[in-house]
Amino acid sequence: MEDKVLFKKIERLRKKGLGSCLATIVKTQGSTPRDVGAKMLVTVNSEFYGSIGGGCGEKQVFSAALRCLLVSKQPELVNVDLTDDLGIKGGDVCGGKIQVFVEPFFPAEKQT
């Protein structure tokens, strides 16, 4: 999904009073499904747009995004190891590592 579309979606959600969290790959090492700059937007309603690669790594980042949005309310750098159990999962992992910056966006404050 194009970055411009994701940023417009963030703004529309904020205006509707809904939070979201943007996850962006900032570093890769080894074989990874997506490159630096790939983005995924996670909403407070557990919807998502875009992708940072799918599978277990994306699920880990999805959980971190909800945690940032609902619990810590702070940005977070998430390290995802895609080498876990290499060979045991029958090809489910890529063999690399990604670092993902997860940044929450909160609803726009109403103007008085």
Q: Is residue 111 part of a domain?
A: no
Q: Is residue 112 part of a domain?
A: no
Tell me the per-residue pLDDT of 2-30, one tens digit each, with 9 for 90 and over: 899 999 999 999 999 999 999 999 999 99
Q: How far apart are CA 67 and CA 71, in angstroms?
A: 5
Tell me the per-residue pLDDT of 53-75, one tens digit each, with 9 for 90 and over: 888 889 999 999 999 999 999 99
Pairing of strands 48-50, 39-43: antiparallel
> pTM here?
0.87
Q: Domain range spanning residue 19?
A: 3-105
- Under 8 Å between Cβ of 69 and 10: no
Q: Is residue 110 part of a domain?
A: no
Q: Is residue 8 part of a domain?
A: yes
The b/e string for 73-94 (b: 16+ C-beta within 10 A; e otherwise) is eeebebebbbeeeeeeeeeebb
Structure tokens at 5: 């579309």
Domain count, the chain: 1
